[in-house]
Structures are given as C-alpha cells and as structure tokens.
Amino acid sequence: TKSTKKLWDEFAELYNDLHHNEISGNSFKKKAFKWFEYFLTPSQGHPNRNFVQGLYRATDCTPYIHFLVYHIPEFIDIHKDLGLMAFSCSALEKKTIF
C-alpha cells in the first residue's frame, strides 16, 4: 500500500542520513521521531464498515528501531568526527549466523 511504501521510503532517508556527516543529532532525532510516529499508525474505524488498516504496533518495535530513534541522535553528536559506520557490527553479526 501507499502508506507502507511511504514508511519504508522515509526509513531509507534516515538510513542515508546516517552515512552523511552533514546532519546534526537534533535534526536526525526530529526525523526519526516523526518516522516512528508514522510507524505506529493505528488501525481506525470499524470492521466491515470504514476500517483502515494501520501500520505497526508498539510490540512490533525491535531493539534496532528503539536504538535508531532514541540513541543514534546522541551518537551522531558525540562521534560526528568518526562517523557512525565506525561502530558497525555487521561483520560480527554475519559471523554469528553460521
């Protein structure tokens, strides 16, 4: 649906912002909170009448999403000179799969 596409297009923007040192922690925080509010869009209406499916529930929030919204903005400001990719654990995570 359009709302799901919008949600993940905006997530892609957040992800791209992490790779650019131009964004401040405060700007990222505002965008991340706006994205998270949209992520938690509830369903509305009554079934079989005017029901509109929401996106996700609070219980669908993963630790990664929590960290993105509530902790990454601080890391952006503290470690702006290093860039956040210096803290990537993706190589280690790939090793734990096997």
Instruction: In whole angstroms, give the CA distance from residue 27 to residue 17.
Output: 10
Give 36-48 pLDDT, tens digit per residue: 999 999 888 888 8
Q: Sorting pLDDT into bands at 50, 70 and 90, what band is 50?
A: confident
Q: What is the mean pLDDT of the chain?
A: 84
pTM: predicted TM-score of the whole model, two decimal places: 0.76
Query: How many CB atoms are closer than 10 A to CB 75?
Result: 16
For residue 14, give the amino acid letter.
L
Residue 97: is its pLDDT beyond 60? Answer: no
- DSSP category for residue 87: G
Q: Where are the domains of the chain?
A: 2-97
Give 57-81 pLDDT, tens digit per residue: 999 999 999 999 999 999 888 877 7
Bigger pLDDT: 84 vs 15: 15
Instruction: In whole angstroms, give the CA distance from residue 5 to residue 84.
Output: 26
pLDDT of residue 52: 77
Among left, alpha and beta (phi > 0; psi -120 to 50; other), residue 45 is left
